[in-house]
Structure 1
Amino acid sequence: MIDAPGLLVAAKELDAADSLAGYRDRFLPAEGVRAYLDGNSLGRPLRATAENLQDFVAGQWGGRLIRGWDEEWLDLPGRIGDELGEVALGAAAGQCIVADSTTVLLYKLARAAVAARPGRSEILLDADNFPTDRYVLEGVARECGLTLRWVAADYAGGVTAEAVADAVGPQTALAVFSHVAYRSGYLADAAAINTVVHDAGGLVLWDLCHSAGAVPAQLDAEGTDYAVGCSYKYLNGGPGAPAWAYVAARHQADFSQPIQGWLGSRNPFGMEQGYVPAEGIRRLVSGTPPILGMLAMRDMIALIREAGMDAVRTKSQALTDYAVTAVDALLAPHGVVLASPRDPDRRGSHITIDHPKFQAATAALWERGIIPDYRNPDGIRLGLSPLSTSFVETFTGIEAILGEL
């Protein structure tokens, strides 16, 4: 088995051959950080974003003041949504929009979906989905008098079409799953799961928080009904950056907005009595668009467009392949277990490794400038953001973990 010196040589060779290596210089460096392996929680800021935000404050906000709303700002949520849909989501124009937080958008989409399937009494959800998804759907089920039906998911894997087929039925109104599982990194077969749920007459809502920007999606081609995702992970929108939502064109005319705000109405500045929803995707909006929060997201979408989403995915798979090899060689002999799929086609851009010492180890690693993150019960996640993470950086992080065992 390859040893640490051999792994370092391999990492240097992979970096030298990496066609995307130059993009790492587009990101701001972090003082004292030797390996940043948490891009699946918070992406690093782009140098361009630091400049563009300063220019926006001084120029557009400071210079145009309230005139900016009429000149551009009100159109940005749909415009950036279309850019994201084209570059990373496989979504035609008019189906994506930037708004709110992931939590709020999950609620809006779930309520609209169950309203579109009256008479059905169940929502499908997997027990290992991200807490926000589970908590929001618990609330929706309670409000609407529905029952949650839990789908079994493998600890080191995720939801499969076979498991969904065992749980779906004539009472299924909505199924809610993550495209990439937040813990294991398992990449679901969205097309197959969509087919299973649709054959039963239900709708599907996908959470793309851990895939958008790192794993290509094909929302239109796969027949997706609804999707939602954050923008502060692989889309590098920054802390608290707004989320985005997708509503397939076929569902927009009867989309029942549960949080009726003025900017989602037919004629916002008409100040009409009584809510009439806007045509198209804009009806998903409720309040004032978070303009500052979406500017960084736009910079990263432009960078992904330049690099190419397919190339980003190829680099992502190469990084996780290398990480698995290094974990097997350096950490497995010390009892570390890979809690992610070994098949690169079934992985997102992070892997999880388990060991009883990892909770304490994570804090010690942070002190040394090695930044992964920890997830219960005893897992370290290695989030490998394709455009900002190198192979040597990945080696450095994994070797440092060895020092904590």
Structure 2
Amino acid sequence: MADPLTLLPEALVGKARALDAADPLAAYRDEFVEVDGLVAYLDGNSLGRPLKTTRERLASFVDGPWGSRLIRAWDESWMDAPTELGDLIGRVVLGAAPGQTVVADSTTVMLYKLVRAAVAARPGREEIIADTQNFPTDRYVLEGVAAECGLRIRWISPDPAAGVTVEQVRAELGPRTAAVLLSHVAYKSAYVADLPAITAAAHAAGALAIWDLCHSAGALELALDEAGVDLAAGCTYKYLNGGPGSPAFGYVARRLQDELRQPIQGWMGHAEPFAMGPGYEPASGIRRFISGTPPIVGMLPMRDMLTLVERAGTPAIRAKSIALTGLAVEIADEALAAYGVTVASPRDPALRGGHVLLEHPDFERVTAELWRRGVIPDFRPPRGLRIGLSPLSTSFTELAAGLGHVAQLLAEGPDRRSALP
């Protein structure tokens, strides 16, 4: 097999190496667990790589708080973990003051709780605005809440290669709108929605704005308090590297916390959880949005990544993200377009999140072969290859090598007969 970098223009390979040499975040790559046979990990927006320190943290947890303190650790630290870690996420990546973020549940469950609480807080308003290109769980949750509460969803159908605009939202808003639920970064195209403007438009209509931050938390600069966001949820296993199934976070603006009543009333969200009383009385503040026992083990890995993110700084992370995705677009244009590959993500870096979607009718086959070669992107039906670039763990040369393998497989074609001269 030829070196896949030889299939790329020499100038682009040189640019990738020069970007690595000048990269102020290059040293952070050494913090991540090394994997034999891994050529390029291009799926950091689906599952972040583990940190070396996380191995030590998990082992010390077994021997330390869990093994030696046992149930006493609940009183000593675990009871406050959902709000303490929530405040850390709020400070490091969300632009949120303390007391507004909590770690609990999965993204799906957290979204349900926030959506259900939001529509209940707007009685007499029977419409929710959403878009047809949003991640399935968001759409499914909304369909369930609409059926449960007798609401109607007003669907926006955005350009699949772009995303929802403020003009499209304004066209659907009205006196019947209870809430708007959108993703800040589109999971397919990586389009970055205008969060402040859409939030303001929702407020002007008397509605609440709910944001899915799964593809932006840890990759983009966020300022939820400044933008006046009402509610938000996001996962922690993408750019926050919390590991498979790590718990989600939920953000509820302080001004709304006493007004909203979340629908899954569990003992950990009670004002006095150990009173074991006959009726439910919600805790004050953000703690009322907890339901069941906190997933303490699942909270451990993301602490290490949050430390790295805070040390690197989100402006530097965003700057590298823009450079990485920009290089991916350049390589697609100059080395992959000849095989019929198109870029299905915004070309304006201000409108592009941390990944790039490439499209080609043969990408399902190509993805399977890439995985066998140690190049790991992900496939999005019907024809999308999503290149997810986590700035702290991905190098520019690694990206170029991965896309060189894409060029090689497309050149070979399905029958593996090379089309190269």
Which category of TM-score, normalised to the shorter sequence, fits these structures? over 0.9
Distance 1:140 1:217 in 2: 28
Q: Give the counterpart letter for 1:97 in structure 2.
A: V
SS in 2 for 1:403: helix
Q: Secondary structure in 2 aligned to 1:93?
A: coil
Q: Matches of 1:226 and 1:31 in 2, distance apart?
A: 41
Q: How many residues in Structure 1 have an aligned counterpart in Structure 2?
A: 404
Q: Confirm whether residue 137 of structure 1 aligns to residue 142 of structure 2.
A: yes
Counterpart of 1:175 in structure 2 is 180
Distance (Å, rounded) in 2 between the aligned partners of 1:204 and 1:377: 31
**Counterpart selection for 2:52 from 39, 47, 50:** 47
TM-score (norm 1): 0.99
2:419 maps to which residue? none
* Counterpart-to-counterpart distance in 2, 1:306 and 1:124: 38
2:342 maps to amino acid: V
Q: Which residue of 2 aligns with 1:233?
A: 238
Identity of aligned residues (%): 59
Q: Distance in 2 between matches of 1:93 and 1:348?
A: 26
Contact residue 229 and residue 253 of structure 2 kept, 8 A: yes
Aligned twin of 1:375: 380
Rounded Cα–Cα distance in structure 2 between residues aligned with 1:10 and 1:129 = 35
Q: For the residues of structure 2 that align with 1:76 and 1:153, how far apart are their CA atoms?
A: 39
Deviation readout 1:4-28 (Å, 9 max, x if unpaired): 2221111110000000000000000
CA distance in 2, matches of 1:392, 1:246: 37
Give the conservation status (yes or no) of the 8 Å contact 2:8–2:404: no
Question: Aligned pair 1:223/2:232, yes or no?
Answer: no
Report SS of the residue matched to 2:251.
Answer: strand
In the TM superposition, what are the counterparts of 1:250-265 in structure 2 within 5 Å?
250-265=255-270
Q: Which residue of 2 aligns with 1:8?
A: 13
Q: CA deviation at 1:213?
A: 0.5
DSSP-derived class of the 2:409 partner? coil
Secondary structure, counterpart of 1:398 in structure 2: helix
Secondary structure, counterpart of 1:269 in structure 2: coil
Letter in 1 for 2:196: A
**Matching residue of 1:124:** 129
Residues 297-312 of structure 1 mapped to structure 2, 5 A cutoff = 297-312=302-317
Alpha-carbon shift at residue 3 of structure 1 (Å): 4.9
Q: 2:157 aligns with which of 134, 152, 155?
A: 152
Residue 152 of structure 1: CA displacement?
A: 2.2
Provide the C-alpha distance between the structure 2 equivalents of 1:332 and 1:163, rounded to a whole number of angstroms.
31
Q: In angstroms, what is the RMSD of aligned CA positions?
A: 0.9
1:257 Cα deviation from its structure 2 partner: 1.5
Q: In the alignment, which of 159, 165, 189 is matched to residue 194 of structure 2?
A: 189
Structure 1 Cα separation of the partners of residues 139 and 312 of structure 2: 35
Secondary structure of 2:333's aligned partner: helix
The corresponding residue for 1:37 is 42
Specify the alignment match of 2:402 in structure 1: 397
Partner of 1:56: 61
Q: How does 1:330-349 map to 2 (within 5 A)?
A: 330-349=335-354
Task: Choose the corresponding residue for 1:23, options 28, 42, 58.
Answer: 28
Aligned to 2:89: 84
SS at match of 1:62: helix
Query: In 2, distance between residues paired with 1:62 and 1:17?
Result: 45
Instruction: Say which SS state the counterpart of residue 351 (structure 1) adopts.
Output: strand
Task: Give SS of 2:103's match.
Answer: strand
> Deviation digits for residues 58-96 of structure 1, max 9, x if unmatched?
111001100110000111110111011011100000000
- Paired residue type of 1:161: V
* 14-23 vs 268-277, greater mean Cα deviation: 268-277
Aligned to 1:360: 365
Provide the residue aligned with 2:209 in structure 1. Answer: 204
Q: Which residue identity lines up with residue 278 of structure 1 in the other structure?
A: A
Distance in 2 (alpha carbons) for counterparts of 1:310 and 1:272: 48
SS where residue 365 of structure 1 aligns?
A: helix
CA distance in 2, matches of 1:161, 1:333: 35
Q: Which amino acid aligns with 1:170?
A: P
Task: Extract unaligned runs of 5+ from structure 2.
Answer: 1-6, 411-421
2:165 is the counterpart of 1:165: no
Normalising by structure 2, what TM-score? 0.95
Q: How much has 1:117 moved relative to structure 2?
A: 0.3
